[in-house]
Amino acid sequence: MKEKIHPNYEQTTITCACGHVFKVGATVKDMHIGICSECHPFFTGKQKFVDTAGRVEKFNRRYGKKD
């Protein structure tokens, strides 16, 4: 490996929008993220379907089975 071309790998604090804080190794110092494994619906099992403005019905009308 060439010397002095790689970024420094250091201990980093990651802060989620939900307030969860954890430490990992990375090349940047501090990170703020919008979603993590503590609040993501896939990991929490609290997934909800949001049908804003009838998107499902609109999709079914456009691409659904024809009678």
Domain ranges of the chain: 10-61
Q: Which residue has the higher pLDDT, 66 or 36?
A: 36
**What pLDDT is recorded for position 49?**
59
**Phi and psi dihedrals of 66, rounded to 5?**
-90, 140
Three-state DSSP state, 61: helix
Rounded CA gap, 29 and 27, in Å? 7
> What top-level class would CATH report for the domain 10-61?
few secondary structures
**Phi and psi dihedrals of 21, rounded to 5?**
-125, 135
Report whether pLDDT(54) > 90. no
**What pLDDT is recorded for position 21?**
94
Query: Model pTM?
Result: 0.55
Kindly list the distances between the CA atom of residue 54 and the CA atoms of 17, 18, 48, 57, 66, in Å, as whole numbers in the listed order.
29, 29, 15, 5, 19
Q: Which residue has the higher pLDDT, 18 or 50?
A: 18
**What pLDDT is recorded for position 47?**
65
**What pLDDT is recorded for position 51?**
59
